[in-house]
Copies of this chain bind each other. A is one copy, B any other.
Amino acid sequence: MTAGTVAIGVDWGTTSFRAFRFGAEGEMLEGRRAQAGILAIDAGEFEDAFEELIGDWLDAVPTVPVVLSGMIGSRQGWLETPYLSCPAAVDDISGALVPLTLARGRVIHLAPGLSVRAGDGVPDVMRGEEVQILGAVDLLGATSATVCLPGTHSKWAVVENRRVTSFSTHMTGEVFDVLRRHSILGRGIEHAAWDDAAFRKGVARSGAAGGLLHHLFGVRAAGLFGDLAPEAAGAFLSGLVIGHEIRAAEPTGTVYLVGEEELVRLYRGALETLGHRGEAVAAHAAACGLFLIADSLAREAGR
């Protein structure tokens, strides 16, 4: 059943767990997915959870590399791994893997995160997205690309010559969520509704004078004047913050999008509205990135 497995990769994030068994060409032989994100697991219980989730794979293929990426390597995770400074390639990440010996004696490897510092010294960080980003670029058959992972904390990364050279995080999804749930804007929003035209209007509005803090109040004022129905207000607000994110990211060339289908659709539309081009990375970028790291580790060990 597990024949031909040459590596196991695990993308273990805040809210989800995804594991993959890879064949010799990096093909995914099997995938497993669970709701067991690190927030759902108590400190000290990670090994038990891990054994429960893929202990049978470990039994069946006792020697192949096992690589874990994502928030599992954060302070709230299993074992805190350091952040690697950009620029960073697959080999840099595999060279900085942190080994962890399980009670059964098997050694597994946790990936480091990546960090970068802006000109004024303020840092930025990612954990897990770098694996998806490098995987996406490999899937594209490219060596350089701009990659965006939209979401709660959207990541924009520039990859040059297969190395993540810089990136920035935008709190777009979380800001949208706290505003519609906890600010006065929520009163004018019918949460279950969506309106693509209003979304595009919000994206376009992001370029108007006055900045984001002013544009946000416009959601309320337009509602008071009956210019924005509650059924359209949530989509308008979403377009507004996504528009601000894209403008701030200043993309050049095609933006490769990695993420949930619906979110990728929205970002493609927003990029188009702002005169850019977005393209979805169709295959599983995290799996690809995990295989690349495990493969690099195996080649390193074989030397």
> CB-nearest residue of chain B relative to A176?
B213
Cα distance A248–B211 in the bound complex, in angstroms: 5
A170: which of B120, B213, B244 is its contact (CB, 8 Å)? Answer: B213
A-B contact pairs, 10 of them (CB 8 A): A115-B225, A123-B218, A168-B210, A170-B217, A171-B217, A175-B175, A178-B179, A211-B245, A211-B249, A212-B244
CB distance from A113 to the nearest CB of B (A): 9
CB distance from A229 to the nearest CB of B (A): 15
Segment of A92-100, A138-146, A181-189, A264-272 in the binding face: A181-189
A175-B175, A210-B248 are known; give 19 further A-B pairs, CB within 8 A: A118-B209, A122-B215, A123-B218, A123-B224, A124-B217, A124-B218, A154-B213, A169-B214, A170-B214, A171-B214, A171-B217, A174-B184, A178-B178, A181-B182, A211-B247, A211-B249, A213-B245, A214-B245, A214-B248
> CB-nearest residue of chain B relative to A185?
B171
In the complex, are the beta carbons of B123 and A221 less than 8 A apart? Answer: yes
Cα distance A69–B244 in the bound complex, in angstroms: 35
Residues of B within 8 A of A183 (CB): 171, 174-175, 178
Tell me whether A18 is interfacial, beta carbon within 8 Å: no
Residues of B within 8 A of A221 (CB): 115, 122-125, 169
A122: which of B153, B172, B205, B241 is its contact (CB, 8 Å)? Answer: B205
Q: Is the interface of A mostly helix, strand, loop or mixed?
A: helix
Residues of B within 8 A of A121 (CB): 227
Residues of B within 8 A of A62 (CB): none
In the complex, are the beta carbons of B120 and A205 less than 8 A apart? Answer: yes
Of the candidates A171, A179, A225, A245, the one having the most CB atoms from chain B within 10 angstroms of its own CB is: A171
Of the candidates A123, A211, A249, the one having the most CB atoms from chain B within 10 angstroms of its own CB is: A211
In the complex, are the beta carbons of A213 and B122 less than 8 A apart? Answer: no
Cα distance A245–B211 in the bound complex, in angstroms: 7
Interface residues of A in 57-97 (CB under 8 A from B): 75
Cα distance A75–B226 in the bound complex, in angstroms: 13
How many copies of this chain sit in the oligomeric assembly?
Answer: 2
Tell me whether A222 is interfacial, beta carbon within 8 Å: yes
Chain A residues with CB under 8 Å of chain B are: 75, 115, 118-125, 153-154, 168-172, 174-175, 178-179, 181-184, 204-205, 208-218, 221-222, 224-225, 227, 241, 244-245, 247-249
- 3 residue pairs, one from A and one from B, having the closest CB atoms: A211-B248, A170-B213, A169-B217
CB distance from A92 to the nearest CB of B (A): 19
> CB-nearest residue of chain B relative to A208?
B120
In the complex, are the beta carbons of A211 and B123 less than 8 A apart? Answer: no
CB distance from A288 to the nearest CB of B (A): 26
Cα distance A218–B171 in the bound complex, in angstroms: 10
In the complex, are the beta carbons of A119 and B209 less than 8 A apart? Answer: yes
In the complex, are the beta carbons of B168 and A222 less than 8 A apart? Answer: no
| A248 and B213 contact, Cβ closer than 8 Å, known pairs A123-B225, A123-B227, A222-B123 | yes
